[in-house]
Amino acid sequence: MSLPRFSNVSYEQYVALRQNSDERLEYIDGVVYMTPSPSIQHQLVSSNLHTQFGMYFKGKQCKVFAAPTDIELVNEKFPERKVVIPDLSVICEEKGFTETKYVGVPTLIVEILSPSNQAHDLVTKFNLYMAYGVKEYWIVNPMKQAVTVYVLNEEGLYEQADIKVSTGTVQSVCFPSLCVDLQEIFH
């Protein structure tokens, strides 16, 4: 669950909070969100997906990063800084890496829902990732054993590209040969 921790916070104040905290903190629209440790089920799903993605991207230009990796989203249309910690990120640009974070826009982001964080991932992050130009967004729901894939259309809006529940294989749009069997994710 991502809980609002502080609001009306400047980016500089966020950086100071982040440096003095061991907690996972995200910064969106002047609000600092604390992201508690995920459940065991969440971690198993994340590990399974990370393994599948890692095998697919091995030896390729794009790299897969698991939480907690800070992503500072940047877009010419938005001067405000946003820092998120996606469950998985696929980054294809080599520039943008610092010692502590990636500054840019990942090609693909995966968020794994928990019972308490659904609104944050389904609304706040969905709209944020769409606005900043994340080309593909996977929402994984372990409670329903479902994966939904969204892809940006020509108007810069997300369209549902794939959805699978319980069985089947979900396919990436940006990486068409990246296919993941739900049995490999949830079991």
Per-residue pLDDT reduced to its tens digit, 20-46: 888 888 899 888 988 877 889 999 999
Looking at domain 38-186, does it have CATH number 1.10.599.10? Answer: no
For residue 102, give the nearest of 65, 52, 53, 50 by alpha carbon.
65
What global pTM score does this model have?
Answer: 0.92
The Cα–Cα gap between 138 and 162 comes to 9
Q: Is the bond preceding residue 38 a cis peptide, omega within 30 degrees?
A: no
What local confidence, expressed as pLDDT, does residue 116 receive? 77
The Cα–Cα gap between 105 and 129 comes to 9
In degrees rounded to 5, what are phi and psi of residue 171?
-125, 140
The residue ranges of every structural domain in the chain are 38-186
The Cα–Cα gap between 125 and 102 comes to 17
In whole angstroms, what separates CA 64 from the centre of its chain?
A: 11
77-91, 114-128, 136-150: range with lowest mean pLDDT: 114-128
